[in-house]
Structure 1
Amino acid sequence: MSVIVVSGTGTEIGKTVVTSAIAAAAVAAGRSVAVLKPAQTGVGPDEPGDAAEAVRLAGPAVTARELARYPEPLAPDIAARRSGLATLAPARIAEAAAALAGTHDLVLVEGAGGLLVRFDEEGHTLADAARLLEAPVLLVAPAGLGTLNSTALTAEALTARGLRGLGVVVGSWPASPDLASRCNLADLPKVSGLPLLGAVPERAGTLPPATFRKTAPTWLAPPLDGTWSAKTFTSTWPA
């Protein structure tokens, strides 16, 4: 696959770090990678955004592109309306991703929050861009209590829209997981119907970039250019 759409089941759950880890693993596997952030919210004009963070962690070989930036930390359509800036249509996202795919082996399109967060006045979402791209969607989910419901709902939304789910990655695996987190390792694939494709440790984004790049493949399964095994990991953290 040349394009993967990365969506969270919510916000602030490690989506950017997971995107960065996938980029780092792909680069380590010898692939050229681009990270596309369609709408960056809550960041000032001179501050680094999520795409820049992916370059910082995964390395300068990664191409970063951002289509729109809104200063307030809100859903893109609301942030655009409040700032007086233009909204972002899914066709523009798809066109940008397709252009990057023409010159890169892998393009990672990182959404804003969850799958159905609105981008424009017509209510278009990341799901609409994924449909135009005919690209699989990777879900990033939290580890703990409540994640089964949000992941199941997001997976159902994918199915209802005729989109293909690639798998689920736990965005921030705790150093000392509680019972709910350990149980969720086995239950996330059951409720979503999607394979578990990785677990990125909490605070992974604070690692020195060189350490992050070296370690990233161990957090991700082979379909994401990694060496991580769901079976081995689950047995390490029995419920």
Structure 2
Amino acid sequence: MGVIVVSGTGTEIGKTVVTAALAAVGAAKGLKVAVLKPAQTGLAPGEPGDAHEAARLAGPGVTAVELARFPEPLAPNTAARRAGLTTVGPRDVAEAAEKLATEHDLVLVEGAGGLLVRLDDAGGTLADAAGLLGAPVLVVAAAGLGTLNATQLTTEALRARSLEPLGVVVGSWPAAPDLAARCNLTDLPVTSGAELIGAVPEGAGGRAPDDFRRSAPSWLAPVLGGVWDADRFTAGQ
């Protein structure tokens, strides 16, 4: 499967849990999987980061790699500058992913925040790293009001860089979806021009790892290795 870049339409929308689900499904199929986090912000040394959390949920055989860590919860370039630390640029990300890909069947590169969050002071972004890799970009979106605009902006930014979105996954589908969330299941593919290829239930990251791994295929469409069906899911809401 090579490399998949996982980007969100913003922060705190479920990128890490979606990445973990992808890793779990791949590992269950016998693939060697690695999760790469180019820049982890907002955590002190020793605290488990997003890559390690994804690996914990996905299984003990999943490799977790973090390139840099900055203590303040800011954009990576700002956090690095304030901490007096070296930034991680798109080429660093691409080289790390390519190296992991020589030893793994699937490498998942999880961004920080949205697609165009700056990694370095030269303006490099996750989109630039995806371009260097020639990798598909999976867009993780929120469920509710406002997500249509944010998701369309993200997919338009990808296409403006000659990158095609792999599809859209709702990162945290509510247990009691409101009208906007239910309508968005139909509208997201239309406005974004990308297929809806998954929905992860809210709170999934809090499940026990064994339960998470068993359930993960039911959250992702066949293109991602799962059994989730957009039409059936939408009809059920």
Cα distance per residue 1:166-225 (max 9 Å; x no partner): 000000000010000000001110011111110000000000110000100100001111
Report how far residue 28 of structure 1 moved.
1.1
In the alignment, what sits opposite 2:116?
116
Cα distance in 2 for partners of 1:164, 1:37 equals 21
Which amino acid in structure 2 is aligned with residue 139 of structure 1? V
Cα distance in 1 for partners of 2:224, 2:62 equals 16
Report how far residue 101 of structure 1 moved.
0.7
Cα distance in 2 for partners of 1:230, 1:104 equals 29
Cα distance in 2 for partners of 1:142, 1:39 equals 22
Report how far residue 30 of structure 1 moved.
1.5
In the alignment, what sits opposite 2:181?
181
Which amino acid in structure 1 is aligned with residue 28 of structure 2? A
SS in 1 for 2:215: helix
Cα distance in 2 for partners of 1:29, 1:227 equals 13
Q: In the TM superposition, what are the counterparts of 1:121-140 in structure 2 within 5 Å? A: 121-140=121-140
Cα distance in 1 for partners of 2:229, 2:106 equals 22
In the alignment, what sits opposite 2:149?
149
Cα distance in 1 for partners of 2:78, 2:233 equals 40
In the alignment, what sits opposite 1:105?
105
In the alignment, what sits opposite 2:69?
69
Q: How many residues align?
A: 237
Report how far residue 89 of structure 1 moved.
1.3
Cα distance in 2 for partners of 1:193, 1:29 equals 29
- Give structure 2 stretches of 5+ with no counterpart: none
1:27 equivalent in alignment to 2:54: no
Report how far residue 128 of structure 1 moved.
0.4
Which amino acid in structure 2 is aligned with residue 176 of structure 1? A
Cα distance in 2 for partners of 1:195, 1:32 equals 26
Cα distance in 1 for partners of 2:118, 2:49 equals 19
The share of aligned pairs that are identical, in percent, is 70
Which amino acid in structure 1 is aligned with residue 176 of structure 2? S
Report how far residue 94 of structure 1 moved.
0.2
In the alignment, what sits opposite 1:83?
83
Report how far residue 48 of structure 1 moved.
0.4
Cα distance in 1 for partners of 2:54, 2:174 equals 21
SS in 2 for 1:26: helix
In the alignment, what sits opposite 1:169?
169
Cα distance in 1 for partners of 2:89, 2:216 equals 33
Q: In the TM superposition, what are the counterparts of 1:44-55 in structure 2 within 5 Å? A: 44-55=44-55
SS in 1 for 2:73: coil
Which amino acid in structure 2 is aligned with residue 11 of structure 1? T
In the alignment, what sits opposite 2:38?
38
Report how far residue 56 of structure 1 moved.
1.0
Cα distance in 1 for partners of 2:126, 2:46 equals 25
In the alignment, what sits opposite 1:202?
202
Which amino acid in structure 2 is aligned with residue 213 of structure 1? R
Cα distance in 1 for partners of 2:59, 2:42 equals 24
Is 1:135–1:164's contact at 8 Å kept on the other side of the alignment? Answer: no
Cα distance in 2 for partners of 1:233, 1:109 equals 27
Cα distance in 1 for partners of 2:10, 2:230 equals 22
Q: What RMSD in Å do the two structures reach over aligned CA positions?
A: 0.5
In the alignment, what sits opposite 1:12?
12
SS in 1 for 2:69: strand
- Give structure 1 stretches of 5+ with no counterpart: none
Report how far residue 108 of structure 1 moved.
0.2
